[in-house]
């Protein structure tokens, strides 16, 4: 909505309706042909299949070796969005604060993002400043600030 209010025309958007995680609507949009910007507010802690097929045949998730848990697809959505950014792309994503602290597979995914020399920073908003949660975070990519095409993420 904010982009529309600031004059960014609808014709500049690529929008698809469907199950983003189970059926990638933009399979050809990767680092070379990806999006300049991804802005999202995915459903908090949504369940998903976490099917084994994603570890072997889906580049959005297979590089890490683990999947976001079936009960919390937060990092599945984040990895989906990161995968579809171009090398200089920007990403803003509202996510629950649990993505910063939960362990197991989510800890592995978080470490993978950091080990790729991405920067993760957290900010919490005070109670009442977000309609759905007491705290929330944003994942933001500032690719232009990283050397040699590396992408940088900041979680707010």
Domains of the chain, by residue range, sit at 34-39+51-155
CA dist., res. 79 & res. 7, Å (int): 29
pLDDT tens digits, residue range 129-152? 544 443 334 444 444 344 444 444
CA dist., res. 116 & res. 119, Å (int): 9
Residues forming beta bridges with residue 141, ordered by sequence position: 153
The second-level CATH assignment, the architecture, of 34-39+51-155 is: 3-Layer(aba) Sandwich (3.40)
pLDDT tens digits, residue range 80-127? 988 888 877 777 787 887 887 889 999 999 888 877 745 555 555 555
pLDDT value of position 127: 53
pTM of the model: 0.74
């Amino acid at each position: 909505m904010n982009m529309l209010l600031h004059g960014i025309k609808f014709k500049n958007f690529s929008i698809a309706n469907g199950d983003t995680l189970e059926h990638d609507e933009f399979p050809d949009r990767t680092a070379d042909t990806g999006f300049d910007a991804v802005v999202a507010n995915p459903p908090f802690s949504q369940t998903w299949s976490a099917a084994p097929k994603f570890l072997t045949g889906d580049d959005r998730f297979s590089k890490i070796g683990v999947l976001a848990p079936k009960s919390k697809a937060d990092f599945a959505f984040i990895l989906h969005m990161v995968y579809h950014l171009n090398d200089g792309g920007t990403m803003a994503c509202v996510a629950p604060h649990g993505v910063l602290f939960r362990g197991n597979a989510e800890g592995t995914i978080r470490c993978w993002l950091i080990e790729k020399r991405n920067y993760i920073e957290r900010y919490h908003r005070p109670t009442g400043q977000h309609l759905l949660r007491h705290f929330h975070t944003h994942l933001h990519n500032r690719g232009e600030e990283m050397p040699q095409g590396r992408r940088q993420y900041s979680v707010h």
